[in-house]
Structure 1
Amino acid sequence: MAFKAIYWFLLTHFLLQISRAYARVPAIIVFGDSSVDAGNNNQVSTILKSDFPPYGRDFYGGQPTGRFSNGRIPPDFISEAFGIKPLIPAFLDPFYNIKDFATGVCFASAGTGYDNATSDVLSVIPLWKELEYYKEYQQDLRIYLGNDEANEILGEALYLMSIGTNDFLENYYLLSNRSSEYSTEEYQNFLAKIAGNFITELFQLGARKISLGGLPPMGCLPLERTRNLLLGSDCVETYNDAARSFNNKLEELVDRLNGELVGIQLVLANPYYILSDIIQNPESFGFEEAATACCGTGLFEMGYMCTKINPFTCSDANQYVFWDAFHPTERTNGIVADHVFKTCLAQFL
């Protein structure tokens, strides 16, 4: 048993050395919400879960992992594109350990936001707690690999952030507290400040390569179209306007922090326009349906409402832009990840 442990330890070190020799990015580290949650919510007392069929039906082995899709999510594709591994594991998943996390780990929690009040809505992991988990990970990695090797990985890793949609759709526009306290622009500024503070703290902890995710055309999510039923189920342009405006503020934030934090390589990964193009011209990307989702009626189902006994769920998710009423299919995730990889992330190759 001792020989086997030593063998695997040496093999892991060898593979990490090979990874660093041939790639500028040795690990992918993920923060955010359900767009990038690999299953952390499985271990949280919340109703916002997806660790049951038909979620994951097109994943490896048809396993529902807690990813809010029929298969893989963007960080998985991005990790594979960098030649690291095809899946980024969730930090709270007991199946994995620091050996797995050394080349990539996900701290994201479905339903969370920049605003702590957003994570309170569905009792999920707040962003500040994701950062605390990251600090634990740093300690574990240094114990596992030693300070020098761990610090090299932490400094060369690519940090992905994808968050903010819930702050608007499940908090600001749905509940009255924040909307009575802030105008839309004031709330955007409030969130952007939190984003800036988070990135600055990540930088102080050793992160250098960071991708800040923008908002999607959130007014075109099937759930929002359903809420807009009285107006013909069209995209809610007020929400899309807010997404574009917030993305502009994030772009300004990226420019400012790149000037202030010496050595940082911060980019904005803006999914808005590629997703908008897919939604407005689905046939051009090989899709048949963009207004409704695959799961159930495609109008409102997500989480526990998206079950394997729902008779309306589509047979081929590849024909749909959205898997459930809030989240893209694996195929859409792959297209968006490929676009991001070839554009804003290309500088890290």
Structure 2
Amino acid sequence: MVHKAIFWLLLANLLQHYLAIKAEVPAVIVFGDSSVDTGNNNELATFLKSNFEPYGRDFFGGEPTGRFSNGRLPSDFISEAFGLKPIVPAFLNPNYNIDDFSTGVCFASAGTGYDNATSDMLSVLPLWKEIEYYKEYQQQLRDYLGDEKANRILEEAMYLISMGTNDFLENYYPRTRRRLEFSIEEYQDFLIGIAEDFIVDLYKLGARKLSLGGLPPMGCLPLERTTNIMFKRQCIEEYNQVAKEFNMKLANLVDKLNQDLKGLQLVLSNPYDILLEMIQKPSSFGFDSADVACCATGYVEMGYMCDQDNPFTCADADKYVFWDAFHPTERTNGLVATHLMKKWSTKFL
């Protein structure tokens, strides 16, 4: 317990060091998928939920909030580093109101993607609906604080965008519709076009500081490795290559939009390299395991398959890179957030 407490104290100090700009960021506003969904799916008619134990067992009070992890997500750590609340509340959570949302709000929905077909398959919020909820939030904020103060918050807020993995792993590869319509390169370009339109829409609505999240080494997720059983559960390199190519296209998009949109400060937050390093050299980061997850057997389980009574669930999630077969542990999320924000410090200071 002492070692764990020291780790979190050091992490908090690093986060504050790399983002010494607290006064300039009055709120953190989040869009995306399960990598940043803090509980919106709890209120949806979807099977893709995590508002039950053992999810959240290391969260404040051991509460399963709907976060797909044992604790906090990268967006929570980022909010805390900006001197704001240590969690970003979900917009659809009835326990929160506009006062809570004035310093941060999450519109993300686990299972969604850039492609509407991705969200339709899983009955979760499509990207266009996240934007519609954001517009509702804008009006609520203006009614609550007045136009001038609300508009200042909306313009100076930090906007986090994190999605794309589901488009490939839940849509393009396992189903035939998009593969009949697009080659993998064409599908990447299709998604990039949607990402561009989304960022332009946010810009028109007043957003200026945005972080666009890249894809992780998705071929190394425990679930994908398990499907590669014929090759001894090695990472699926085809998926990793697609992730790297897509991230390069995102980087080009970031450069283009920063040139085209006056006053825009858009950065690519790419978790690929740091996550791959954790997966390939887990002991260097204090982890014991990176190829299987903590929850249940660690090979295939996520969501409702992560049963709180499963005898195989690990005792200490901090020793694992992944919490379930698709999502990182809180400790991994904290390390990724610190890595990304180190790069932000050169952009926003």
TM-score, length-scaled by structure 2: 0.93
Partner SS, residue 344 of structure 2: coil
Aligned partners of 1:203 and 1:185: how far apart in 2? 27
> What secondary structure sits across from 1:51 in the alignment?
coil
1:25 correspondence with 2:28: no
Does the Cα contact within 8 Å between 1:24 and 1:348 map onto a contact in 2? no
Q: What whole-Å deviation, never above 9, does each CA across 1:216-258 have from its counterpart, x for those lacking one?
A: 0000000000011111100000000000000000000000000
> Aligned partner of 1:312: which letter?
F
State the Cα distance separating 1:348 from its structure 2 match.
2.6
Q: Distance in 1 between matches of 2:346 and 2:198?
A: 23
Q: CA-atom RMSD, angstroms?
A: 0.9
- Write out the 4+ residue segments of structure 1 that deviate beyond 2 Å after TM superposition: 344-349
Q: Residue 23 of structure 1 aligns to a residue in which SS? A: helix
- Residue 344 of structure 1: SS of its match in structure 2? helix
| Cα distance in 2 for residues equivalent to 1:317 and 1:250 | 32
Separation in 2, partners of 1:179, 1:280? 31
1:245-284 matched pairs, under 5 angstroms: 245-284=245-284
Corresponding residue of 1:348: 348
CA displacement, residues 175-195 of structure 1 (integer Å, 9 cap, x when unaligned): 000011100000000000000
What is the alpha-carbon distance in structure 2 between the residues aligned to residue 44 and residue 22 of structure 1?
A: 34
Structure 1: stretches of 5+ with no match in the other structure: 1-20
- Tell me how far apart the structure 2 counterparts of residues 217 and 26 of structure 1 sit (CA, whole Å): 32
Q: Which residue of 2 aligns with 1:134?
A: 134
Counterpart residue number, 1:296: 296
Shift of 1:23: 1.2
For 1:272 and 1:179, locate their aligned partners in 2 and report how far apart those are by CA, in whole Å.
Answer: 24
Residues 22 and 83, structure 2, Cα contact 8 Å, conserved in 1 = no
Alignment map for 1:1-349 (pairs within 5 Å)? 23-344=23-344, 346-349=346-349
The answer to whether the 8 Å contact 2:91/2:105 transfers is yes
Task: Tell me the matched-pair count.
Answer: 329
Q: Which amino acid aligns with 1:295?
A: C
- What is the identity, as a one-letter code, of the residue corresponding to 1:210? L
TM-fit CA distance, 1:344: 2.8
State the distance in 1 between where 2:265 and 2:189 align: 22
1:17-52 Cα shifts (integer Å, max 9, x gaps): xxxx96111100000000000000000000000000
Whole-Å separation in 1 of the counterparts to 2:341 and 2:28: 13
1:65 aligned partner, one-letter code: T
CA distance in 1, matches of 2:297, 2:105: 34
CA distance in 1, matches of 2:25, 2:285: 29
What amino acid sits opposite 2:51 in the alignment? D
Shift of residue 347, structure 1, vs aligned partner = 2.6
Residues in 2 aligned to 1:218 and 1:111: alpha-carbon distance in whole angstroms: 15
Q: Distance in 1 between matches of 2:36 and 2:126?
A: 14
Using the alignment, how far apart are the partners of 1:159 and 1:37 within structure 2? Answer: 14
Answer yes or no: is the 8 Å Cα contact 1:51–1:64 preserved in 2: yes
Deviations 1:291-343 (A, max 9, x none): 00000000000000001011110000000000000000000000000111111
Aligned residue identity for 1:150: A
Aligned twin of 1:16: none
Partner SS, residue 267 of structure 1: strand
How far the C-alpha of 1:346 sits from its partner, in A, is 4.6
TM-score (norm 1): 0.93
What are the superposed Cα offsets for residues 147-168 of structure 1, whole Å, 9 maximum, x if unpaired? 0000000000000000000000
1:6 alignment partner in structure 2? none
SS state at 1:37 partner: coil
Is the alpha carbon distance of 1:341 and 1:22 closer, same or farther for their aligned partners in structure 2, counting shifts above 3 Å?
closer
Report the secondary structure of 1:210's partner residue: strand
In 2, the alpha carbon distance for the partners of 1:22 and 1:108 equals 23
SS at match of 1:160: strand
